């Protein structure tokens, strides 16, 4: 996906832009913090010390990132920026018959602001043009599942007891 610019509701008031740029090794600290933000509520229910939480998050991020880079083409592994500052990531892999969203995550203050929806719509346009579907895995209890359903994703398969594979078709 090439760099895209769009103004969201927040940005309408301040003329800020949101965009994508290819991630680099220099983005790892940001992506670690982003990953940690997606696991906060889960870890709040544990008896882990702060150091144990940090160690666990670093190990889990490393395993996830390693898996993504070993099993997916990283050409469209992008950092989402708002006003030139990193606020999320959108990792996409283009397959013969589908556009696979490998991962999308936003920092908490940018969730529910339309940023993610904007990039989903960009992918939907690409899918329409190429005649492909858009797919994404989501955990059963992930609140983002409701967003995906509102955007028109439907259950394609139940991957296992944790993940669902959802699909959007043009």
Q: Check whether 8 has a pLDDT greater than 90.
A: no
Cross-strand bridge partners of residue 33: none
CATH topology of domain 16-168: Aminopeptidase (3.40.630)
Q: Are 96 and 40 in contact (CB under 8 A)?
A: no
Question: Is pLDDT of 14 > 50?
Answer: no
Give the pLDDT score at 156: 95
What share of the chain has pLDDT > 70, as a percent? 91
Q: Where are the alpha helices (DSSP H) in 18-143?
A: 28-38, 40-44, 50-71, 115-130
pLDDT tens digits along 81-108: 999 999 999 999 999 999 999 999 999 9
**What local confidence, expressed as pLDDT, does residue 161 receive?**
81
Residue 13: predicted pLDDT? 34
The residue written with tokens 């769009």 in the block is: 6
Instruction: Kindly tell me the burial class for residue 19, based on how many C-beta atoms sit within 10 Å of its own C-beta (0-12, 13-18, 19 or more).
Output: middle
Average pLDDT, whole number, for the chain?
A: 89
Question: What's the pLDDT score for residue 5?
Answer: 37
Residue position matching structure tokens 């997916």: 72
The pTM assigned to this predicted structure is 0.85
Question: Are 106 and 87 in contact, with CB atoms under 8 Å apart?
Answer: yes
């Amino acid at each position: 996906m090439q760099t895209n610019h769009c103004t969201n509701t927040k940005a309408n008031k301040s003329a800020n832009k949101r965009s994508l740029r290819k991630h680099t090794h220099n983005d790892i600290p940001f992506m670690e913090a982003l990953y940690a933000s997606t696991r906060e509520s889960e870890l709040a229910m544990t008896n882990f010390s702060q150091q144990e939480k940090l160690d666990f998050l670093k190990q889990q991020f490393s395993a996830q990132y390693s898996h993504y880079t070993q099993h997916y083409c990283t050409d469209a592994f992008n950092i989402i920026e708002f006003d030139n500052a990193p606020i999320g990531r959108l990792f996409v892999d283009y397959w013969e018959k589908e556009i696979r969203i490998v991962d999308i995550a936003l920092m908490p203050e940018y969730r529910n602001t339309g940023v993610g929806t904007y990039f989903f719509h960009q992918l939907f346009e690409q899918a329409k043009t190429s005649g492909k579907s858009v797919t994404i895995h989501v955990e059963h209890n992930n609140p983002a599942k409701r967003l995906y359903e509102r955007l028109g994703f439907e259950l394609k398969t139940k991957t296992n007891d944790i993940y669902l594979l959802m699909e959007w078709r043009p």
